Amino acid sequence: MLKTDSRFSAFQQALHQNKISCVDRVHHHLSVIKEKSHLNVFLSVYDNEALKKAAEVDQKIREGTAGRLAGLVVGLKDVFSHQDHPLQASSKILNGFVAQYNATIVERLLDEDAIIIGRQNCDEFAMGSSNENSAFGATLNSIDESRVPGGSSGASAVAVAAGMCQVSIGSDTGGSVRQPASFCGVVGLKPTYSRISRHGLIAYGSSFDCVGIFSKSIEDIALVLEVIAGSDEMDSTVSQREVPSYSKELSDDNPKKYKVAYLNEVMQSNVLQPAIKKTLQNKIEQLAATGHTVDGIDFPLLAYALPTYYILATAEASSNLSRYDGVRYGYRSDNTKDIESLYKKTRAEGFGKEVQRRILLGTFVLSANYYDAYYTKAQKVRNLIRKQTKEILAQYDFIIMPTTPTTAFKLGENTQDPIAMYLTDLFSVHANVAGVPALSVPCGHDEEGLPIGLQVVANDFDESRLFQFSKVLMKFE
């Protein structure tokens, strides 16, 4: 089925020519999910509901009333509120919790006739880079099952790579869509901060949190972004800017030549895997050979993006996660004697180790004695990083860099060393600290056959050109 063109538009065409139905499509994905259940990708599969919705959409297609995403099979990371469905952020502390309402993105997907097939595993509260911090166990990378798929939206990337759904919706606070996309060989978007409503997304670091999109094709991502982006009365931080027709603008012929920067610090980095460096160098040469301008520039602040992110995101997390107290929802410890022991025991038993580490770290950097030394200073560095990034993007259309320093690592390789795990986010956190959009695109493989991802970073709200340019990049051999 549709072996030659994995884009959703190819499926839609077949759908409208009656060559295939949405019900067939859902059956196909359900069979892949079943066949590959050992990868531990889905925490819930909504088979009956998805088949029912598919039949309704097939009917709408016959009547000519189907929405823009008619038949798009979507998986949701376990951080989005989907009414009457379980929601746990892969944490024990939300055991048994059922969502009361739809996130804005869920509402918009369903309104355009997308079909939600299930809820996907992730790192607990989206904190992690390998999907190993889940109360439901690790997810395996479908390309090499001894390796991690990345994180925190690792399962969402595997779902797309292995053909369990067409598109996954994840969240990217410090790289959680782009890093797994690069480890699994798919495309992953972190849009401009404030482009997509966060209403109904479980909060981790609110000033960084972005809804992100996975697919095998840039075209699918453009179409989905067009549907889910834009102002929302339920989230006052969402931009009021009009949402362009990303998919239409992408299909226009694009002979434009761009000005692209790469960072000398990245090229000189001693943690960058040689195969990734070589891939980046090849792309730079190909861009230059085809008439684009490519310059190496200095950006010494890059090294500060990681500590800045881990101070600010954990500070915000310590506040956001204070609501999980055993009183309001989810897990509650037994045998507690008073309200204080109820809070303490519930949180000690309900949160995993990494989440506890981050709450402690965040509380520490916000404490009266250390606030200025860490939190205030990190805010200042964040402003500087944003300012200098904007200065670069005033001179260049894009910055191109690796999404990750290495390809997918082995399961268990970094679990004993949190700093080693954090370092895998070295290049991805920059776009979150600066608030700008970035897209990770698959660009070949290393000597072991593992996918390499490069990311293109663009100016605020420049997603349309980001897609156009990334398409050029993906076409180079």
Check if the beta carbon of residue 435 is closer than 8 Å to that of residue 460. Answer: yes
Residue number with CB closer to ligand GLN (71 or 170): 170
CA atoms within 13 A on the CB side of 460: 13
The Cα 155–Cα 164 span in angstroms is 10
Considering only 40, 91, 142, 173, the residue that binds ligand GLN (CB under 6 A) is 173
H-helix or E-strand spanning residue 188: strand 187-190
Q: What is the CA radius of gyration of the chain?
A: 21
Proportion of the chain in helix, strand, coil states, percent, rounded to 5: 45, 15, 40
Binding flag, residue 126, ligand GLN (CB under 6 A): yes
Residue 335, classified by CB atoms within 10 Å of its CB into exposed (0-12), middle (13-18) or buried (19+), is exposed
The pair of three-digit structure tokens given for residue 432, joined into one six-digit string: 């979150």
Peptide bond into 152 cis (omega under 30): yes
Exactly one of 88, 104, 120, 129 binds ligand GLN (CB under 6 A); that residue is: 129
Q: Give 298-302's long-range contacts (Cβ < 8 A, gap of 24+).
A: 298/263, 298/264, 298/265, 299/263, 299/264, 299/265, 299/388, 299/392, 300/265, 301/381, 301/384, 301/385, 301/388, 302/263, 302/265, 302/266, 302/430
Residue whose C-beta lies closest to ligand GLN: 176
Select the span of 169-177, 250-258, 300-308, 463-471 touching ligand GLN (CB under 6 A).
169-177
Residue in 127, 228, 272, 305 binding ligand GLN, rule: CB under 6 A: 127
Active site residue 428: no
- Single out the residue of 144, 172, 232, 463 in contact with ligand GLN (rule: CB under 6 A): 172
Query: Smallest gap, in angstroms, from Cβ of residue 317 to ligand GLN?
Result: 9
Interface with ligand GLN by CB under 6 A: which range of 137-145, 165-173, 247-255, 400-408?
Answer: 165-173
Smallest distance from ligand GLN to CB 238, Å: 19
Q: Does 176 bind ligand GLN (CB under 6 A)?
A: yes
Comparison of 357 and 386: residue with beta carbon closer to ligand GLN: 357
Pick out residues in 383-442 that bind ligand GLN (CB under 6 A): 425
**Contact (CB, 8 A) for 407 and 446:** yes
Q: Is 196 in the site for ligand GLN (CB under 6 A)?
A: no
* Sole window of 100-108, 127-135, 296-304, 468-476 interacting with ligand GLN (rule: CB under 6 A): 127-135
What is the token pair recorded at 114? Answer: 């997308």
State phi, psi for 457 to the nearest 5 degrees.
-105, 135
Tokens in use for 113?
A: 């006739």
Catalytic residue (choose from 21, 176, 217, 318): 176
The residues in 199-258 that bind ligand GLN, with binding defined as CB under 6 A, are 204
Give me the least distance between CB of 302 and ligand GLN, in Å please. 16
Give the separation between CA 133 and CA 124, rounded to whole angstroms. 6
Instruction: Name which of residues 145 to 164 contact ligand GLN (CB under 6 A).
Output: 151-152
Residue 477 burial by CB count (10 A; 0-12/13-18/19+): exposed, middle or buried? exposed
Residue 152 among the catalytic residues? yes
Instruction: Select 176 or 247, whichever has its Cβ closest to ligand GLN.
Output: 176
Of the candidates 7, 70, 1, 58, the one whose C-alpha atom is nearest the C-alpha of residue 32 is 1
Q: Total binding residues for ligand GLN by CB under 6 A?
A: 15
The nearest distance, CB 123 to ligand GLN, in angstroms, is 7
Tell the burial category of 3 from Cβ atoms under 10 Å away from its Cβ (0-12, 13-18, 19+).
exposed
* Closer residue to ligand GLN in complex, CB, 90/470: 90
**Looking at 57-65, 87-95, 168-176, 332-340, which segment touches ligand GLN (CB under 6 A)?**
168-176
Nearest to 183 by CA among 124, 129, 125: 129
Beta bridge partners of 40: none
Question: Among the options 21, 90, 134, 152, which is catalytic?
Answer: 152
Nearer Cβ to ligand GLN (212/326)? 212
Given the residues 77, 190, 216, 471, the one annotated as active site: 77
Determine, following the binding rule CB under 6 A, whether residue 128 of this chain makes contact with ligand GLN: yes
Question: Among the candidate windows 61-69, 166-174, 408-416, 436-444, which touches ligand GLN by CB under 6 A?
Answer: 166-174
Q: At a CB cut-off of 8 Å and minimum separation 6, what does 229 contact?
A: 191, 195, 196, 243
Q: Is 130 a residue of the active site?
A: no
Identity of the residue, 67 or 188, whose beta carbon is nearer to ligand GLN in the bound complex: 188
Q: What is the DSSP string of 87-101?
A: --TT-GGGTT-B--S
Interface segment toward ligand GLN; rule CB under 6 A; list 49-57, 120-128, 366-374, 467-475: 120-128
Site for ligand GLN, residues 290 to 349, rule: CB under 6 A? 313
Nearest distance from residue 163's CB to ligand GLN, in Å? 24
CA distance 60 to 287: 45
Site of interaction with ligand GLN (CB under 6 A): 126-129, 151-152, 171-176, 204, 313, 425
What positions carry a catalytic annotation?
Answer: 77, 152, 176
